Structure 1
Amino acid sequence: MIVDRVYKPKRKELLYHYCDATTFHAICTNKTIRMCDLFSMNDYLEMHWGYSIWEKAATELLPEIGEEFLNAIDHIIHFSGGWGLLLASCFSLDGDVLSQWRAYADDGNGYVIGFNAQDLKKMSVRALKVEYREKKQIEEIKKVVKAIYDVEKSLPEEEKFGEGFVELCTLLSFDSASYKNPAFSEEKEVRLVHLLNFEKSNNSLKLVDNGGIAFGKDCPGQEVKFLMSQNAPKTYIDLDFSNSGKSFPIKEVIIGPKNLVLSTAISTYLETLNIPNVEVKRSNASYR
């Protein structure tokens, strides 16, 4: 568990989601956030980047901790993908960045939705603030590994490398999803993650959502769905952010710099969909 990556929003802090008009409409009408397979996102390195940081950290720790212990962690990290599939939804701390309008909001024709961050964290998700500085990433991994090493060193021989060790190393593996290439630093990303589990099914495996805690109470798992992307199945689930209509986390909508829709039209649209008191404004980005 990379404690430094856990996102702790300030009071009334907003998280921004860039999207095209179709996705904007789906979010507003369904009151859900789509969690997608991390390997199908825009950065083709994604989880591979986190593993490369682990390798660099392990190399620096080798003289201090030893090959046997590091190999035990590496074994768990290597096979953690066989235990579960990490889904994510991506947000930004900045709601009006030209490069993100271009990349994620239909080349400036889409929208940005500003959500109350504390409300989003009430869903059955883990919120991770992305770190882009490679040196900091390596130091964080080293800190976690040293902590695991100290715990294991204090245990009786028969209790070493037990369930607690496996759980901590698995969390380390999945939390490394909060590390990205420095080239993406302008995005100021916070990602919400949710884990699906693999279960045996006949002679193969199937994905299941075991649910979690949402809005302070146990919630059932969601239906695991797929869509085809580049001839391959892309996994996703949709999580309700409205607490069955009791919560209203959408606080702001920003209209893209090339989007010609009237602000009043969007305000009326939101109120009609029972999304009240949203501040609607236009992007300040100069883009034509």
Structure 2
Amino acid sequence: MLMDRLFKPQSAQRLYHYCSAESFRAILESGRLRFSDINMLNDAMEYRWGYSIFEEAATRLIKRIDVSDNVPQMDIAFFHAVDEILSKGQLIAHPFVSCLSFEANSLDQWRKYADDGRGYAIGFLASSLQHMPISLLEVSYDREVQVKEMMAALVATHSRSSPPELPLQGESAEDVALIAAYMAAFKHPSFASEREVRCLHAISLEKIQDSFRFVSRGTASSAGVENKVAFTIRDDALTPHVDLPLTASDGSCPIVEVATGPKNPTKMGNVFLFLGSQGHSNVAVRPSDLPYR
């Protein structure tokens, strides 16, 4: 089931966010983590890949390929009804994501996401991220696993009522909306080395005459300040983002470790001083030991 994608942190488990020196400074000074529009990430097939998994799963269920005899025959009209909701999924709950990794010292990620090794990796205590208005999704890179999880989710949705009422409404429609969100945890096998845990934050859209705008309902900070969606220019493209506070209501912060990249020229002492100036203590600091120059 797609619920298997929900990441359940173990005690003291850490996740790492690779970033440039400037992003590191911004995160520490603001106490916020940036979530970007899923359509503007490094994988050009990002959302399309998840939809292709739905197509494959639906085809197998319709043609009864690798389907147990206990699974009822599912009419093609049901899949059209699911597709109708999936195709509008981003208009209902638009996914914004921030990417973390199980890997604490990945050369590939230093190069791609941390300014070719000149940046930082911020280590978060995974369990301390759960106070944020996000879902933590453990990414799957195995296409066959993805298809089977999607098939199970579709069968479960179909089984809510027999036969299902079309168009899908109520709990069945909510199931499909959840499927649309969790498809963000499916990625192409070529990204498997990243071992990603994806932080997912959904934002509503509001229709204004013949256009739309993002509406960040329910995303006010603990201080009551609304976390508005803003736009920045990245690689010449307008990119929506929202910055969510890391600090919990009790004042605790999930940052427990900082690593400097293999080409980062900063002295360790200055990293400690910067952390102290931002009110952070008991944060482990270490340089990457990878021979990359």
TM bucket, shorter chain: over 0.9
2:168 to 151, 158, 161: 161
Question: Helix, strand or coil for the counterpart of 1:200?
Answer: strand
What is the CA–CA distance in structure 1 between the aligned matches of 2:252 and 2:157, rounded to whole Å?
39
Question: Helix, strand or coil for the counterpart of 2:86?
Answer: helix
2:196 to 178, 182, 189: 189
What is the CA–CA distance in structure 2 between the aligned matches of 1:221 and 1:203, rounded to whole Å?
25
Contact 1:250-1:278 within 8 A present in 2 as well: yes
2:118 aligns to what? 109
- Is 1:222 aligned with 2:262? no
1:253 to 228, 249, 258: 258
Q: 1:99 to 1:245 in 2, by over 3 A?
A: same
1:148 to 157, 169, 177: 157
1:203 to 203, 210, 222: 210
Gaps in structure 1 of 5+ consecutive residues: none
What is the CA–CA distance in structure 2 between the aligned matches of 1:202 and 1:152, rounded to whole Å?
37
Q: 1:236 to 1:267 in 2, by over 3 A?
A: same
TM-score (norm 2): 0.91
What is the CA–CA distance in structure 2 between the aligned matches of 1:219 and 1:166, rounded to whole Å?
32
Deviation, structure 1 residue 219: 7.0
Deviation, structure 1 residue 119: 0.9
What is the CA–CA distance in structure 2 between the aligned matches of 1:280 and 1:274, rounded to whole Å?
15
- The AA in structure 1 aligned to 2:94 is L
TM-score (norm 1): 0.93
- Alpha-carbon RMSD: 2.1
Contact 2:261-2:288 within 8 A present in 1 as well: yes
1:237 to 236, 242, 247: 242
- The AA in structure 1 aligned to 2:18 is Y
What is the CA–CA distance in structure 1 between the aligned matches of 2:211 and 2:4, rounded to whole Å?
37
2:102 aligns to what? 93
- The AA in structure 1 aligned to 2:150 is I
Question: Helix, strand or coil for the counterpart of 1:108?
Answer: coil
- The AA in structure 2 aligned to 1:57 is A
1:266 to 252, 255, 271: 271
1:275 aligns to what? 280
What is the CA–CA distance in structure 2 between the aligned matches of 1:188 and 1:252, rounded to whole Å?
18
What is the CA–CA distance in structure 1 between the aligned matches of 2:221 and 2:8, rounded to whole Å?
17
What is the CA–CA distance in structure 2 between the aligned matches of 1:244 and 1:104, rounded to whole Å?
30
Contact 1:57-1:138 within 8 A present in 2 as well: yes
2:32 aligns to what? 32
Q: 1:214 to 1:45 in 2, by over 3 A?
A: same
Structure number with the higher helix fraction is 1
Gaps in structure 2 of 5+ consecutive residues: 64-72
Identical columns (%): 35
Q: 1:154 to 1:11 in 2, by over 3 A?
A: farther
What is the CA–CA distance in structure 2 between the aligned matches of 1:66 and 1:198, rounded to whole Å?
32
Per-residue CA deviations over 1:258-288 (Å, capped at 9, x if unaligned) read 1121112101210121011110001122211
What is the CA–CA distance in structure 2 between the aligned matches of 1:235 and 1:256, rounded to whole Å?
27
Deviates most, 187-196 or 232-241: 232-241
1:170 aligns to what? 177
What is the CA–CA distance in structure 2 between the aligned matches of 1:239 and 1:127, rounded to whole Å?
14
Deviates most, 231-240 or 134-143: 231-240
1:179 to 186, 192, 199: 186
Q: How do residues 62-141 of structure 1 correspond to structure 2 at under 5 angstroms?
A: 62-63=62-63, 64-141=73-150
What is the CA–CA distance in structure 2 between the aligned matches of 1:70 and 1:220, rounded to whole Å?
41
Deviation, structure 1 residue 140: 0.3
Deviates most, 140-149 or 201-210: 201-210
Per-residue CA deviations over 1:83-113 (Å, capped at 9, x if unaligned) read 2321000000111010110000010111100
Per-residue CA deviations over 1:16-73 (Å, capped at 9, x if unaligned) read 0000100000011100000100111111110110001111111101134221111111
Question: Helix, strand or coil for the counterpart of 2:122?
Answer: strand
Question: Helix, strand or coil for the counterpart of 1:223?
Answer: coil
